[in-house]
């Protein structure tokens, strides 16, 4: 139990490339590449690196055909990120991807078909020492399980059917996900699974929706599960871009109370009393904060009502007063400046936190 009352359920660790999932390893952040994979070039590699720098530990690619399987394979030879092949329907695509150093294969028990196909993928993954994520989605359960009234139990059963095949071949490098577009069903299915098994869990609400409802559904489910100690890696799926998914995932992990190498940002919502332009100011310093991989609290506040209190409690805080801003560092006022100088002096102080 840590100081925030968190006790993580132990799951046996599984290596995904250089990232360890489960055990006492940090909760890993994942997202999915949102465009078709058509060619491997420097631009693509730089974009993947940018996602990694932002905090993406694992990046998944859709593999809808043989060309995509080979391209992802070639990419996995040169990328420093842990890349995952996401395979539906055609088990042969997983077999192709496994000819390359991909970090993980994701298969969906609802659509991969006969047991012998799953067996082939498992045996090759075992031979190559590549883990598999068995990704159960409530929207694509095997036909028989779709008839069950209790969706969470049906999802558990789908996972168990796949687990049975894996265990038959003594394959243990498995991560499970049980995702529904409904937050309650996601919570229930993962809780049921976690009560029975100690395989690592990848959490997410599938098809969660556009930005605001999507983040709310994901936060409701993922926060609840992580606070219960359930979950080893998360993906916040949104009808939005990958950067937003990563930022949302990192914010959920932080809010749950896990220590992360990311700043905690406090800022006021602004109101009729606002003297200092909080939103514009944050936009100007956002890039510098993103580079600050430290567990510190930064406060940006708009007026003397709540501003000094929050800014004083932060590692570095700024608040507007009349014509001035006051900058606090770990509880002490370190500078009073004219608002027009706020940006340059605050960036100076941010740089000092970097050091």
Nearer to ligand SF4, 181 or 306 (CB): 306
| Smallest distance from ligand SF4 to CB 195, Å | 43
Nearer to ligand SF4, 225 or 318 (CB): 318
The two structure tokens encoding residue 176: 């499970």
Closer Cβ to ligand SF4, 16 or 342, answer by number: 342
Q: Residue written as tokens 């309650």? A: 184
H, E, C per residue of 59-102: EEEECCCHHHHHHHHHHHHHCCCEEEEEECCCHHHHHHHCCCCC
Q: What DSSP string runs through 226-273?
A: HHTT--SEEE---SS-HHHHHHHHHHHHHHHT---SSPEEEE----TT
78 is written with which tokens? 């040169």
Say how many CA atoms lie within 13 Å of 295 toward its Cβ. 8
Nearer residue to ligand SF4 within complex by CB, 112 or 278: 278
Report the interface residues with ligand SF4, using CB under 6 A.
268-271, 273-274, 301-303, 305-307
- Cβ 317 vs Cβ 300: under 8 Å: yes
Question: Nearest approach, Cβ of 325 to ligand SF4 (angstroms)?
Answer: 13
Instruction: Give the shortest CB-165-to-ligand SF4 separation in angstroms.
Output: 56
Could you tell me if 83 and 112 are in contact, meaning their C-beta atoms sit under 8 angstroms apart? no
Q: How far apart are CA 249 and CA 258, in angstroms?
A: 12
Query: From the CA atom positions of the chain, what is the Rg in Å?
Result: 23
Q: How far is residue 194's CA from residue 112's CA, in Å, rounded to a whole number?
A: 24
What is the nearest approach in angstroms of ligand SF4 to the Cβ of residue 317? Answer: 12
Confirm if 333 and 326 have CB atoms less than 8 A apart: yes
Residue 62 Cβ vs ligand SF4, minimum distance, rounded to whole Å: 43
- For ligand SF4, which is the closer residue by CB, 142 or 307? 307
**Minimum distance of ligand SF4 from residue 300's CB (angstroms):** 10
Helical H segments across the chain, by residue range: 42-54, 66-78, 91-97, 115-128, 143-146, 151-168, 183-196, 211-227, 242-256, 278-290, 307-313, 342-354
CB of 320 to ligand SF4, least distance (A): 8
Rounded to the nearest whole angstrom, what is the least distance from the CB of residue 347 to ligand SF4 in the complex?
Answer: 22
Q: Please, which residue, 19 or 278, has the CB nearer to ligand SF4? A: 278
The residue at minimum Cβ distance from ligand SF4 is: 268
> What value, to the nearest 5°, has the Cα angle with vertex 52 and ends 47 and 58?
110
């Amino acid at each position: 139990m840590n100081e925030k009352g968190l006790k993580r359920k132990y799951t046996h660790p599984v290596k995904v490339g250089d990232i360890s999932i489960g055990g006492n390893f940090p909760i890993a952040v994942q997202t999915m590449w949102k465009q078709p994979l058509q060619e491997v070039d420097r631009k693509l590699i730089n974009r993947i690196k940018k996602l990694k720098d932002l905090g993406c530990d694992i990046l998944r690619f859709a593999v809808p055909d043989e060309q995509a399987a080979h391209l992802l394979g070639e990419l996995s030879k040169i990328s420093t990120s842990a890349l995952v092949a996401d395979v539906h329907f055609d088990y042969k695509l997983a077999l192709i991807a496994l000819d390359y150093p991909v970090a993980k294969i994701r298969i969906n028990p609802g659509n991969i078909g006969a047991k012998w196909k799953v067996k082939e993928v498992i045996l090759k993954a075992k031979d190559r020492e590549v883990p598999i994520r068995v990704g159960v989605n409530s929207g694509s359960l095997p036909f028989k399980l779709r008839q069950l009234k209790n969706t969470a139990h049906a999802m558990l059963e789908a996972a168990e059917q796949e687990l049975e095949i894996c265990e038959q071949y003594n394959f243990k490098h498995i991560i499970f996900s049980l995702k529904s577009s409904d937050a309650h069903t996601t919570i229930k299915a993962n809780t049921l699974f976690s009560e029975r098994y100690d395989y690592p869990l990848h959490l997410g609400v599938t098809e969660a929706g556009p930005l605001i409802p999507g983040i709310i559904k994901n936060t409701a489910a993922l926060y609840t599960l992580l606070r219960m100690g359930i979950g080893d890696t998360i993906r916040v799926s949104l009808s939005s871009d990958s950067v937003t998914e990563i930022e949302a995932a990192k914010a959920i992990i932080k809010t749950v109370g896990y220590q992360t190498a990311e700043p905690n940002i406090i800022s006021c919502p602004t109101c009729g009393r606002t003297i200092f332009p909080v939103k514009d100011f944050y936009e100007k310093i956002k890039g510098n904060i993103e580079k600050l991989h430290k567990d510190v609290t930064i406060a940006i506040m708009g007026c003397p009502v709540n501003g000094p209190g929050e800014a004083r409690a932060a590692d570095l805080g700024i608040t507007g007063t009349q014509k001035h801003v006051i900058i606090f560092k770990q509880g002490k006022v370190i500078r009073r400046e004219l608002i027009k100088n706020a940006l340059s002096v605050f960036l100076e102080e941010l740089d000092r936190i970097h050091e």
